[in-house]
Amino acid sequence: MTEPATEFPPPKILTLSPAHKPILITQGAEGRLYKTPSPFQPDQFCALKYRPPKPYRHPILDARLNKARISSEAKVLDRCYREGVPVPAVLAKDATAGWMMIEWIEGEPVRVGINKWLGKRPEDDDVVDHSQEDETPLIDLMKRIGVAVGALHRTGVVHGDLTTSNMMLRPWADDRLPNGHGDKAEKAKAVAGDVVVIDFGLAMQSQSDEDRAVDLYVLERAFASTHPRAERLFHHILDSYREAFKKAPGVLRKLEDVRMRGRKRSMLG
């Protein structure tokens, strides 16, 4: 009995090595992300981002859009990587075919690490005495996030979708991991690692303080919705951002304006 044809076949680049079947990691409205052995270093993995043809678009328009978006994302990633921003390296691309191969980042999303640190939500947050808890590892992570965003903006790039799901925690070597055993050590290890910013599908090159402030606002709202118990520590991200990026004061002033507009929209519905 033959297997039914898959509804979403992978791009041809992933069918060249029948010994290694690519793994579909995630699928969004615009594209798919695969994990596959690297053609350059067979003992390592890489990620392949693929924008398949959209049957609801005119074929010529669709091909142009996919080519432009892959080219733009690769260009932004290349620029960031050259400037020392913690992002995946671009290994290869075929914009005409709609795919880009990038470095595979081991580890977990920052979102997962923070939620592991926070643990199970207490029945009443008001009774939690945070002063009795050593939050240094979590605060250190917030500072590393601020440095990463500062480096990104310093390069003249705005991410467009800054959330803790679009940041990875790349594991440190064992000699940098927190020592000890038990719950405290495990919590500290959950938020250990280098912050690597990923998914630049909505990124653009911009020197605008307004655009940068919107980037920060999106991240702040992501904390409010995804990690509400960590939102009170968000100022550590902004403090670290200010130290990492000399133009931060103007951006943070704009952030106040963006927050005000956001509050007005919430009130008006």
Is 124 among the catalytic positions?
no
> CB under 8 Å to 28, separation ≥6 — which residues?
none
**Catalytic entry in 94, 140, 161, 239:** 161
- Mean pLDDT over each residue of the chain, to the nearest integer: 87
Average pLDDT for residues 206-219, to the nearest whole number?
97
Dump pLDDT digits (tens) for 14-50.
Answer: 776 666 778 889 887 778 999 998 877 778 899 999 9
Q: Angle between the 136-154 and 234-244 helix axes, to the nearest 10 degrees?
A: 40
- 237: its two tokens: 């991200």
- Quote the pLDDT of residue 11: 78
Q: Sort strands 194-197 and 45-50 into parallel, antiparallel or unpaired.
A: unpaired
- Quote the pLDDT of residue 153: 98
Ranges of beta strands (E only) in the chain are 23-27, 32-37, 45-50, 90-94, 99-103, 108-109, 157-158, 167-170, 194-197, 204-205
Report which secondary-structure segment, H or E, holds 177. none
* Pick from 169, 181, 106: nearest CA to 140: 169
Average pLDDT for residues 221-230, to the nearest whole number?
94
- 249: its two tokens: 């004061």
d(CA 34, CA 104): 10
Q: Give the side-chain half-sphere CA count within 13 A for 256.
A: 5
- Quote the pLDDT of residue 100: 95
Residues in the chain: 269
pLDDT surpassing 50 at residue 166: yes
Residue that wins the pLDDT comparison between 261 and 89:
89
Average pLDDT for residues 51-60, to the nearest whole number?
88
Adjacent-strand bridge partners of 99: 50, 94
Helix (H, G, I), strand (E, B) or coil at 167: strand
The number of angstroms, rounded, from the C-alpha of 167 to the middle of its chain's C-alpha atoms is 3
d(CA 110, CA 230): 13
Burial of 39 from C-beta contacts in 10 A (0-12 / 13-18 / 19+): middle
Average pLDDT for residues 81-107, to the nearest whole number?
95
- 192: its two tokens: 């250990």
